[in-house]
Structure formats: C-alpha cells, structure tokens
Structure 1
Amino acid sequence: MTLKILPEHPMSDTPELPENAETEPSSPPRRAIRSFVMRAGRMTEGQQKGIDQGWPKFGLTLDQGMLDLDAVFARQAPRTLEIGFGMGQSLLEMAQAAPEQDFIGIEVHRPGVGSLLNGLVTSETGNVRVFDCDAIEVLKQCIPDASLDRLLLFFPDPWHKKKHNKRRIVQLSFAELVRSKLKPGGVLHMATDWEHYAEQMLEVMSAAPGYRNQAADGSYVPRPQERPVTKFERRGERLGHGVWDLKFERVD
C-alpha cells in the first residue's frame, strides 16, 4: 500500500471536497492481535512420523465447523481442552491417566504437534484430538457452547515487555469466550511462572462476570495434582522461579 504524505499546512488550508466527490475506499479492517508467533521448527523423524501416521486419526481442522464431540470421540465423557500444549508430554500424560475422559489439544508449533501425535500413536492412546491452528478461532468455530468440563492454559507466552502485554491471551474477551464453552461448574485452569502475568490473570478473571475463584483466599490455588510438572517447570524450580495456578469455575 502506498502512503500519501500530506503537506504540513493548517487544516483550514486543506481544500474541502464537494459532497458528491468520490473518495478512496477505506483500508481493510486490521487483523486481530494474536497471542502467539508462528515459529519455524525442524521436524525430527519421530515428529514427522507422528504427523504422517497420527494426523489422519487424531487431527481436527477449522473447516469441519462446529463439532459434535460425542461423534468425534464415539462416546459421551468429560471433556478437557488445552490451549498451547507445547511438545505434548503433559497432555499425553493427563490423557493416559484418565482414559475415561476425552481431551482436545491446540498447538500452532508444528514439531510439538508431531511430538504429541507420535506419542499417541506409539502408546496407542485414543482419547485425544488435535488442532494445529489459532485457539480463538477453534473456540469460536468448532467448540459447542457449554460442552467443556475444563479448559487448560498452562504457561502461555507472557509477552513480558509492557508494549506487548496487549498480545497476552488472557483478556476479558477471552474469559467471556471461554465461559461460553464451559459447562456450568466447568473450570478454567491457568498456570504461569511469570508473576506479573499471574497478577493480570487474577485481575482479569476477578472482573469477568460469571466466574467464581476456587482459591479460598481469592487469589491462587496450590498446584493441583492433576497438572503434570514439566521439565521446564522443574528447571525453573531449581532456579528459584515461582509458579502460580489459578482456577475459576463457571457459575450461572
């Protein structure tokens, strides 16, 4: 697009256009701010195997539209959706520990998708389905309202520079969207090792209508046993980094 540089004259010197004059079409709407960056990554042999063998069985796409989750999993069961599962080890561990439940994972990092799929294929774990696209679009286009028992958001990108805080996924609009997808009594469980982000999460969720903080003191909950500890988290603990867990329940 070519930018036009206007002369530096007072506004009063700018000639007025007649009422019937044609004007240039307005610019297209700006793209919504994303909370993630698409990073290229080298695929290992195992990750590529996961894509090749696992995607046809476990992969889901936006163009499938609003899903019938009972049909997707061929049963009725409690359902958990995780946004940003990284390399997938924690999600795989949770799914294996709860075979009576169903899990949906979303991750844009292709090697991570391949890693999880390879784990599903290798371990013959069948209660997980995977998206490899924008989580907000998945929630809007594919997940029915009041269909989830839990939504997990573990260690999202903190966008630690103040000028980038607007990119953080946890905003009021996100809380409202998630609430519509949770069943009454369903839980949004978040965790972060960035204290400032934890404070923002708490502030946003405390202001969001239709939620109850499960922390007795209205702040953070102890690390729940059902959240696996990752290698990244263990390394952070050795370095003295804190981790903050938040659990907010949908109430009507």
Structure 2
Amino acid sequence: MTDGQERAWTDLAPRYVIDAPRDDAATSVRPGAAITPSDVWGRDAPLVVEIGSGQGHAIIHAASSAPETDFLAIEVFTAGLARTMLGAEKAGVENLRLVEANAPEVLEHLLPPASVDELWVFFPDPWHKNKHNKRRLLTPEFATLAAGAVRDGGVLRLATDWEQYARQMRDVLDAAPEFARSFEGEWADRFPGRVLTAFERKGARAGRAIRDLAYVRRHRG
C-alpha cells in the first residue's frame, strides 16, 4: 500500500473498520460473531450493504447522499478498503463502516438475520473463462445466504457488464424461492443510486451492455 493507505489503516481503521472475529483464514468470519447494527452505527436506521466495494466510489457517494441510512462495505482487498477510508474521510462520511472479509461469511455469520434493507452486488468478478466460472459469487448457495440476511421486502440489486454472467445471475435468482423479480421484461432499469464507476465505464467502452437486476425478498412464512 502507499504511505497514505498505510496511514488510513493506522488513523482511520478504528473509526471505520469493523473488527470481525476470525476463523482459520485471514478474511474469514467466525461463526457466532454477529454484530448488533444499532451498536455499530449508534442508531437504528436502514442498512445498505455492498459486496465487493472496491475503492469505495459507489458506496461513498451513496452514503454521502443518504445520511439517514447506514452503509456497510465488504471487501477482501486491503488497499481498496484503505482508499475507501481516505475517500470517506475526505467526503466527511460518518454513516459508513467497512469489513475486510469474505462476503458469504459476512452474510452468514456477521450480519444478524433479516437485518439488511438493501444488498448490492455491482460488477462482481465475472471469472469469464469457462474453467473459472465455478468461482463466481452468484450461486444458489449465495442466494440462500442473501435471503437470510435481507429483511422481508428488502431488495437485492445487481449489475454486471458480462452478458453470460448476467443471465446466470438471473437464472439463479429466478429459481430462488425467497426472491421475486421487481422488474418487468428482460432486465431492470439502471439503478439511479449507483454512481458511474470505472468498472462501468470500462465495460461501456468495450461495447458491453450493462445489465441491472433487482429482486425483492419475499415475506418469510
């Protein structure tokens, strides 16, 4: 990391980073490590969680635009989290927290059941080579974990610039009994709360269509 990013971890991590109890791996989350969101953010407010927040451009913009909402960025890359903290400090964002951990374990162990109002997965790694497709995040197992974390009536929002992955996402979530489409036709409209990032610009420059999806968490029986 750069000197500035190292400073972020020294000076800003106590303010922004949730110290998740670990299992065996450095980015794991120990079972039974659930947080209480009202304790972490110091209030009761809607919670938006972004998986794969990268350098934080989307979630910092969202958090600064909606101070009445709490935001959690999940990322495994330390430098990206450091950049996010620096950006949050510059923007004066107080309603954002970060966790360095594997997203499925955050959904399963760190977040209480039905605690998330919106879950965002924007431009996840497409693992576009066929032999690597099995590494993709969006699987039936992920849909089950997401359904556990999202409250009844909450929303799962997704976006990708890889057509084949977009279709896989749609197939997985259409088949998930806990979720229902919140759009008509083939694809959802572009989510207006998603700021235009480098990933989206890169995909558009390459001539790839940006595909949005949105699903509502059905009410638990």
Q: Normalising by structure 1, what TM-score? A: 0.80
Tell me the SS of whatever aligns to 2:87: helix
Q: Deviation digits for residues 25-55 of structure 1, max 9, x if unmatched?
A: xxxxxxxxxxxxxxxxxx1232222212111
1:235 aligns with 2:202: yes
Q: Deviation digits for residues 75-134 of structure 1, max 9, x if unmatched?
A: 111100101011111111110000000000011111101000111222221101101111
Alignment coverage as a number of residue pairs: 209
Match of 1:105 in 2: 73
Q: How far does residue 139 in structure 1 lie from its aligned partner after superposition?
A: 1.4
Q: Give, as a single letter, the amino acid of the residue that structure 2 aligns with 1:126.
A: E
Contact 2:108 2:148 in 1 (8 A): no
1:117 aligns with 2:75: no
Tell me the SS of whatever aligns to 1:248: strand
1:174 aligns with 2:142: yes
Q: Distance in 2 between matches of 1:231 and 1:158?
A: 16
Q: 2:16 aligns with which of 34, 47, 58?
A: 58
Tell me the SS of whatever aligns to 1:113: helix
Give RMSD over aligned pairs.
1.3
Specify every segment of 5 or more residues in structure 1 that has no aligned partner in the other structure, as ranges. 1-42
Specify every segment of 5 or more residues in structure 2 that has no aligned partner in the other structure, as ranges. 22-29
Contact 2:70 2:96 in 1 (8 A): yes
- Bigger radius of gyration: 1
Q: Distance in 2 between matches of 1:139 and 1:232?
A: 24
Q: 1:145 aligns with which of 103, 113, 122?
A: 113
Q: Give, as a single letter, the amino acid of the residue that structure 2 aligns with 1:93.
A: H
Q: How far does residue 222 in structure 1 lie from its aligned partner after superposition?
A: 1.3
Q: Distance in 1 between matches of 2:19 and 2:107?
A: 12
Tell me the SS of whatever aligns to 1:157: coil
Match of 2:102 in 1: 134
Q: Give, as a single letter, the amino acid of the residue that structure 1 aligns with 2:169.
A: M
Q: Give, as a single letter, the amino acid of the residue that structure 1 aligns with 2:93.
A: T
Q: Normalising by structure 2, what TM-score? A: 0.91
Match of 2:184 in 1: 216
Match of 1:247 in 2: 214
Q: Distance in 2 between matches of 1:237 and 1:167?
A: 24
Q: Deviation digits for residues 150-170 of structure 1, max 9, x if unmatched?
A: 000011011111121111110
Q: Distance in 2 between matches of 1:220 and 1:46?
A: 40
Tell me the SS of whatever aligns to 2:72: strand
Contact 1:185 1:251 in 2 (8 A): yes
Q: What is the percentage of aligned positions where both structures have the same residue?
A: 39
Contact 1:192 1:244 in 2 (8 A): yes
